[in-house]
């Protein structure tokens, strides 16, 4: 089962990968880019600014970032592991702070 957090950006476009990666690094993570728009990525590759989906390796597991108009969705698969939930929350906070976004409440 998948779990997601939605981050909304009302005052501008969603942030790019360099800004998100910097915020993840500030939080103590060493993000590793695994896929860009469903294609394998080199770990140090910088995606095209028009990317739609990234898969990022974090300490607690893999987090998918899906960028849409005005939002980025952070998605993880599996809901029983506290480490993957921590990775999801870390990613959501990093995305929000990179672009002055707001994380939707968990419903």
Per-residue pLDDT of 81-93, as tens digits, reads 899 999 999 999 9
Measured between its terminal Cα atoms, the distance across the chain in Å is: 16
pTM of the model: 0.94
- Span 14-56, pLDDT tens digits: 999 999 999 999 999 999 999 999 999 997 899 999 999 999 9
Bridge-based pairing of strands 71-77 and 39-40 is unpaired
What is d(CA 2, CA 60) in angstroms, rounded to the nearest whole number? 15
């Amino acid at each position: 089962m998948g779990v997601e957090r939605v981050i909304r950006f009302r005052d501008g476009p969603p942030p790019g990968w360099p800004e998100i990666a910097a915020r993840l690094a500030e939080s103590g993570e060493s993000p590793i880019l695994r896929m860009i728009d469903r294609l394998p990525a080199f770990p140090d590759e910088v995606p095209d600014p028009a990317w739609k989906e990234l898969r990022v390796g974090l300490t607690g597991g893999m987090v998918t970032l899906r960028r849409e108009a005005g939002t980025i969705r952070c998605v993880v698969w599996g809901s029983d592991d506290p480490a993957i939930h921590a990775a999801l929350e870390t990613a959501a906070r990093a995305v929000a702070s990179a672009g002055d976004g707001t994380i939707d409440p968990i419903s």
